[in-house]
Amino acid sequence: MVWLIDNITTAVDLFGTVARTDPLSAVLLALGGLLVAFSSAIFGYLALGGLLEPLAPEHLDHPARRERT
């Protein structure tokens, strides 16, 4: 657990150093963080939908997926 905390603090220090060296580096670092956060949020949304889809009642399914009787 100590290694994890040490690695996180080291990463924060390194990213801070990179962000302070040049304004362009700070912008690129922020855009990279946004790209990773956006991708993770989309993946999480799709994964959660896939896990919860079998639990949805039939009346909430799309009409094209219902069997016609």
Q: Which amino acid is at 17?
A: T
Query: pLDDT digits over 2-21, tens only?
Result: 899 999 999 999 999 999 99
pLDDT (0 to 100) of residue 53: 83
Whole-angstrom CA distances from 33 to 9, 39, 62 are 17, 10, 35
* Residues of the chain with confidence (pLDDT) below 50: none
State the Cα–Cα distance between residues 38 and 29, nearest whole angstrom.
Answer: 14
Residue 56 is predicted with a pLDDT of 73
Query: Is 19 within a domain?
Result: yes
Whether residue 17 lies inside any domain: the answer is yes
**In this structure, are residues 20 and 26 in contact, taking their beta carbons and an 8 Å threshold?**
yes
Rounded to two decimals, the pTM is 0.66
For 28, the domain range is 2-54
7 vs 1, 19, 25, CA distance in Å? 10, 18, 22
The reply to whether 66 falls in a domain is: no
Specify if 59 maps to a domain.
Answer: no
**Residue pair 14/29 in contact by the 8 Å Cβ criterion:** no
| Structure confidence at residue 60 (pLDDT) | 59
In a domain, 7, yes or no: yes
